[in-house]
Amino acid sequence: MEKQIKDFTDEEMLNEATRILTEGFTLYYDQQFTMGELVEYCGRIGSTDDDMLGYMQFNPEEHPDISIVSPKPDMLLGHCDLEWHSNGTVHHVVDGVWEHKEWLICLYCVDYCPDTVLSVSNNRDAFLELPEEEKQWWRGVEVQLNNNGGSIMGQYWNPPNKSDAAKTARMEKYVQAPKHEGDSRMPVVNTHPIGGQEFLYWQPPLISKAWHNGERIDIKPLQKKFDAVINRTKYIKDIVFRPGDILIMDQFYTLHRRSPILDKNRELWRVAIDYKHTIDK
């Protein structure tokens, strides 16, 4: 039987948190977790109290720090494909303002769909391995991020035969953050608050305005340029979850996307972990 990570000693746990930070994510197989054990395990890395979730229909009452990711009605994220993104781009209040937040996402597989692929891209390495001149160009780019309409839900989410009212109703469920407006913006090259390395932080579908060296620039060519950096086999790991698989990924150093879910039994348990004080505690 595989070593059970829930039995990690404190030293192994610290080693695990360091590995996530160095490699962007870790993945284990054949792990046996109850909901309570999963929350406890994640809690050893950092706080699992998500400021946006915990009271929704997909949070089990007994274990509100878990979100059920499933295509079943009213569960988190439905069945559609999800475009490249990281979790927590525009949804969190940090020091009183809407900001991104440094954290990890844990996904534990309970039931699976053999046709669904979750891809994780190491956007830190993709950036760090660019020629210096190109890195310098990116350091001048700033963007305004918003949940633009369907956002990461992609095109699949709103089939053309749906009425506008139905589309709006569905969208409203997911647009929770107030809009960034005017010149509100952030740089796309950021430094990881714990890891200290530079990385490209941004989700292509969320860009509503862009600047380079202070001048407004078009979004489309910028998105294309970003796509050329990020969409490279070398930096992407494709995962077809099987029961017992557990993935923990850094939301700054990695992006992820998912193909549509065909087998409606697929179920993951998701826990968000704030790991601000993990390495030095």
Residues in the site for Fe ion, rule: CB under 5 A? 87
- CB nearer Fe ion, residue 143 or residue 152: 152
Q: 3-class DSSP state for residue 246?
A: strand
Q: Which of residues 105 and 126 has its CB atom nearest to Fe ion in the complex?
A: 105
The nearer residue to Fe ion, 130 or 175, going by C-beta atoms, is 175
Measured CA angle at 179 (ends 273, 184), to 5 deg: 90
- Please check whether residue 110 is in contact with residue 281, taking contact to mean a CB–CB distance below 8 angstroms: no
CA pair distance 65, 273, nearest whole angstrom: 9
Q: Please give the residue whose beta carbon sits closest to Fe ion in the complex.
A: 87
Q: How far apart are CA 194 and CA 20, in angstroms?
A: 12
Which stretches within the chain are classed as H helix?
10-23, 35-43, 123-128, 132-139, 164-172, 219-230
Nearest to Fe ion of 87, 147 (CB atom): 87
Nearer to Fe ion, 118 or 126 (CB): 118
Q: How far is the CB of 104 from Fe ion (least distance, A)?
A: 12
Q: Least distance from C-beta 243 to Fe ion, angstroms?
A: 20
Q: Is 110 helix (H, G, I), strand (E, B) or coil?
A: strand
As measured in angstroms, the least distance from the Cβ of 190 to Fe ion is: 19
Q: How far is the CB of 87 from Fe ion (least distance, A)?
A: 4
Q: How far is the CB of 134 from Fe ion (least distance, A)?
A: 27
Q: Are 203 and 152 in contact (CB under 8 A)?
A: yes
